[in-house]
Amino acid sequence: MFLTTEEVLEYLQVNLRTVYRLIKAGKIPAVRVGRQWRFRKRDIDAWLDGQRAPGQNRPPSPPEPAGRPAGQHHILVVDDEASIRELLAKTLALAEYDVDTVADGNSALARLRDEALACDLAIVDLKMPDMDGLMLIRQVKRLRPELPVIIITGFSTEVSAIEAVNLGVAGYLTKPFRVPQVLAAAAKALGVAPAA
């Protein structure tokens, strides 16, 4: 019996980042089917059995990190397309970034105003309803002038590119983009070595 990623999240009672870390560490085998991961239930159960202390009836959930591990960067992804948010979240989580996603500019500003959310980078879609990416960047720069921002867009124009550069964006990606481009842009904006 195979489980989807969503079913594994519910079964293990953990977040997406933890599941990707377990896959990357080789703790739970996963099979790629198109853009989705599939997991054998018996592999998950075998991993859980290995986590169980002798005499314990119920296996513990994998340990969640207390807060953000030292040196881990937090990235906020802002895009009105759920598929793009999910793709970026998965890509960045596999590279061991801590990722938060929102669907619009107002939600992004609310997250950035939250003192508990120490965001290191924002990846912002250019074309969104209500508040477009350039308007959001202007607001972000007033709120957090030091925060690097990467623009992503499927509708690149010379005017928007120039305006984005004038606003001090750290990168500019056009859709469709490839995983290495995203990781390289994030690493460059954060001043870290690109993920292998």
| Tokens (6 digits) for 123 | 């990846």
| Structure confidence by residue, pLDDT tens digits, 146-190 | 999 999 988 766 677 778 778 889 988 888 888 888 999 999 999
Count how many residues are written for the chain.
196
Name the pTM for this structure: 0.64
* Statement to judge: residues 85 and 118 lie in one domain: yes
Number of domains in the chain: 2
* Statement to judge: residues 34 and 79 lie in one domain: no
What number is the average pLDDT over the span 45-50? 75
* Statement to judge: residues 32 and 106 lie in one domain: no
Give residue 20's domain range.
2-51
In a domain, 195, yes or no: no
Q: Count Cβ atoms within 10 A of the Cβ of residue 14 and give its class: 0-12 exposed, 13-18 middle, 19 or more buried.
A: middle
Given a cut of 80, whether residue 27 has pLDDT beyond it is: no
Given a cut of 70, whether residue 119 has pLDDT beyond it is: yes
Q: Count Cβ atoms within 10 A of the Cβ of residue 161 and give its class: 0-12 exposed, 13-18 middle, 19 or more buried.
A: middle
Residue with tokens 């993920």: 195
* Statement to judge: residues 96 and 45 lie in one domain: no
Strand stretches in the chain, DSSP E: 2-4, 31-33, 36-40, 74-78, 98-102, 121-125, 149-153, 171-174
Strand stretches in 88-148, DSSP E: 98-102, 121-125
Given a cut of 80, whether residue 135 has pLDDT beyond it is: yes
In a domain, 151, yes or no: yes
| Structure confidence by residue, pLDDT tens digits, 57-110 | 444 443 333 444 445 899 999 999 999 999 899 889 888 888 999 999 999 999
| Tokens (6 digits) for 87 | 């793709």
The residue that leads in pLDDT, 47 or 67, is: 47
In a domain, 32, yes or no: yes
Contact criterion met (CB below 8 Å) for 167 and 137: yes
